[in-house]
Amino acid sequence: MLRFVHLRGPASRATLAESLGLNRSTIMALTADLTAAGLVREELPRRPGRRAGRPSLVVRPESTRVYVLAFDAGVDRLAVARVGLGGEILDRRETTRSPGDPDGAELVNVLAGAARSLVRKAGRDAVCVGAALAFPGVVRRADHQIMFGPNLDVGDVPLGESLSRRLGLGVPVAVCNDADLGALAEHERGAGVGCDDLIYLHGDVGVGGGIIVGGRLLGGQEGFGGEIGHMMVNPNGRPCACGARGCLETEVGERTLLAHAGRAERPGETGRDAVRAVVDAADRGDIVAREALHRVGNWLGFGVANLVNIFNPGMVVFGGTLRDIYLGSAAQVRSVLASSALAAPRERVKLRTSALGDDVTLVGAAEYAFAEVLADPLQVLARLREPAAT
């Protein structure tokens, strides 16, 4: 029930009973427990229903008091948000990052400092129930250890543990692959709501992938699954930071786009803004920019065709810088898809851009952080309140 109001918003007792297939006395009992725990509150509907008689009380998540901290360690941007139960971003801090910026310890400093200022502003009766960090690299699920992340070098610093210690809130900070979190976000709150077989492609210097199979995030044996950016598409392609050659990441990533467009060396033009500048230039008729997008769109099309054949997804979602790259090369992507993917899985697949824009990984981190409390709300809260009571 808490998951329902978290994802779908406030709902009347009657709606909850119907949607969850529970009878009204069960709903009342559950609501009483969750209210006592401070997770939801009940109130009269703001707009009375049409039905005669006593209006059904509306169950509303305690979105300002119960929150998580969502961290996004992008290559060119660091962000922290305080996200309330129900998914609303209540407050945030954001700072740009230059590729030359130093290491993991400094990263933890910046993120922890920003988070602490958000926590202070939250007030004394607010409770942080979880935290997660989106990271552009390969992360082991069991211990959130970063195995590979050439685009954001953090050295040996254990990001999750360091951050958690610096926050001092008694919650661990889960470190997750950014594209996995993007997939989660688009599946639960974005373009892919209702689509249980979805592939999310995320661009942030590198190219990451998050894959939802049958409603669940594909992790594989150790959580490394979804590294679509390192699918080889061009055996004669560019060398990749992973040691291989012609990975999707090297053929469609922003560095390659900027190089094709003759903009690799323009100072100050990096990241999202630089990619948008190429797409804008192409829109205005710039031949070089158009050709650059055409070349990148060609390989992106092959990559998408492979994914369509392998996964038969209902939807492929492009996010991060790939959102703009796809928008600038959609015709080419669709043309390669039409000639390279099998008809059967191709016919019904939808290609979409991220509905959550630049916040997609941040929203995903928040959803990940909420997962445990949604699975067992009363226990998690009891555990968090214990130290305060002693």
The site map against its own copies for 244-263 (x = CB under 8 A) is: xx------------------
Nearer to its own copies, 43 or 222 (CB): 222
Whether the Cβ atoms of residue 296 and residue 237 lie closer than 8 Å to each other: no
Does 343 sit near its own copies (CB under 8 A)? yes
CB of 315 to its own copies, least distance (A): 9
Specify the stretch interacting with its own copies by CB under 8 A; choose among 50-58, 88-96, 205-213, 372-380. 205-213
Residue ranges with strand state E in the chain: 11-12, 40-43, 58-61, 66-73, 77-84, 89-96, 127-135, 138-139, 146-148, 173-177, 198-204, 206-213, 216-217, 315-320, 350-353
Burial letters 332-356, b for 16+ CB under 10 A, else e? bbeebbeebbeeebbeebeebbbbb
Q: Which ranges constitute the DSSP H helices of 123-213?
A: 159-167, 178-189
CB of 174 to its own copies, least distance (A): 18
C-alpha–C-alpha distance, residues 59 and 1, integer Å: 10
Which of 173, 179, 176 has its CA nearest to residue 223?
176
Does 193 sit near its own copies (CB under 8 A)? no
Q: Strand 89-96 to strand 127-135: parallel, antiparallel, or no bridges (unpaired)?
A: unpaired
Helices (H) and strands (E) in the chain, counts: 14, 15
The site map against its own copies for 274-313 (x = CB under 8 A) is: ----------------------------x--xx--xxxxx
Burial status of residue 265 (CB atoms within 10 A of its CB: 0-12, 13-18, 19 or more)? exposed
Residue from 59, 68, 184, 231 touching its own copies (CB under 8 A): that is 231
C-alpha–C-alpha distance, residues 315 and 192, integer Å: 7
Q: Site size for its own copies, by CB under 8 A?
A: 50
Residue from 89, 213, 330, 384 touching its own copies (CB under 8 A): that is 213
Specify the stretch interacting with its own copies by CB under 8 A; choose among 37-45, 112-120, 226-234, 326-334. 226-234
DSSP 197-219: SEEEEEEESEEEEEEEETTEE--
CB of 218 to its own copies, least distance (A): 6
Specify the stretch interacting with its own copies by CB under 8 A; choose among 87-95, 99-107, 214-222, 274-282. 214-222
C-alpha–C-alpha distance, residues 354 and 344, integer Å: 25
Residue from 209, 297, 328, 364 touching its own copies (CB under 8 A): that is 209
Specify the stretch interacting with its own copies by CB under 8 A; choose among 8-16, 42-50, 140-148, 264-272. 140-148
Main-chain dihedrals φ then ψ at residue 134, nearest 5 degrees: -85, 125
Nearer to its own copies, 17 or 336 (CB): 336
The site map against its own copies for 41-60 (x = CB under 8 A) is: --------------------
CB of 350 to its own copies, least distance (A): 10
Nearer to its own copies, 119 or 205 (CB): 205
Nearer to its own copies, 34 or 247 (CB): 247
Residue carrying the six token digits 């109130």: 43
Residues that bind its own copies in the complex, under the rule CB under 8 A: 138, 140, 147-148, 197, 209, 211, 213-214, 216, 218-228, 230-236, 242-245, 302, 305-306, 309-314, 339-345, 348-349
